[in-house]
Structure 1
């Protein structure tokens, strides 16, 4: 009888191990056709009701995925939905996704790059446009907080008492950042902070971001 109990226990432990080993993870990176990482892109397996979002480097991880072939969906605002079947039969499967911008988004008009209304496709200056749909997907109380969801833009709180801070773009300090509201520049660092902190995210129609040497169009 004792031998039977020992054998029965061993079989149960082995079965549990085999069941546990039948799951793995899918990981990789989500970017656009230029290789720019896409932040907060959603990736999911609808049939399993499993999903995740990409981090600030565009990396994602889907964990505890059963072995087999599954259809994966990747979504990001301003980009076409991407679907692809991925087979997982090991501890992990690596897959990178490249999303293409929606054609209707490319036809939109931008102003910041040339100080006049031109099509985004015809603009000689690369302008990143973030519409209200992007910010609704990542709700925040103010415009200052909403900027943290934009790649390469980092609002930094410098004083917890007076709630003042500045906005860094590509690692440069706050004084190097110029902010315009409806084309009118905001002068003085303090007015920038207080002004943006007092603007609700719901009032924003869109944000245009110009990075690099092209910003010299607005001054030194």
Structure 2
């Protein structure tokens, strides 16, 4: 793959801008602007969108290339859903899911003709270089849009979104673990305080027993002294 092709891939900011613009102009998004007035309105909107997207970080493309991108993008999203049995959960990014929900979920094939009409807008009869804004220079040739390349990029975006969610869940789990550890540490501190109180109580009880033992010894000695005194008294008394 050449650097030229890689550089032609729209950035996520550009794709988001396109989808947001189409959300504001659903008739343009669905290719429903028909007739002379509709075609004129469509050209004006596409010129406006081209200027917006080309001023965002990413490749600069001519208008007909962005028209082709949008038609191909809708076709790709539709094919993914239909190929997956009609389940939009097969879509790999939030951008694709938004395109499906906003523009394709309810068409039931009735707007397939609009895709052909959008494709016809890229023909020279629609794309008039002389009608372009004079400040917009189309110096580079239109690059063929390779949908598989974009699919890979958007799959990577989808993977990154899932990775970010996993990392967010992991951070939440780590926060809960830290909180549990803090609670456990507080419990251990309270247990240590209780152990110290218990140790001091045991120490005071031991001191009390020692005091009682000493007092008992003194009482015993006093009794012995009294007994000796009484014996001497009786032994010296006259008969």
Instruction: Answer whether TM exceeds 0.5 for this pair.
Output: no
Which structure dedicates a bigger proportion of its chain to strand?
1
TM-score (norm 1): 0.22
Which structure dedicates a bigger proportion of its chain to helix?
2
TM-score (norm 2): 0.21
Structure having greater relative contact order (Cα 8 Å, sep ≥ 6):
2
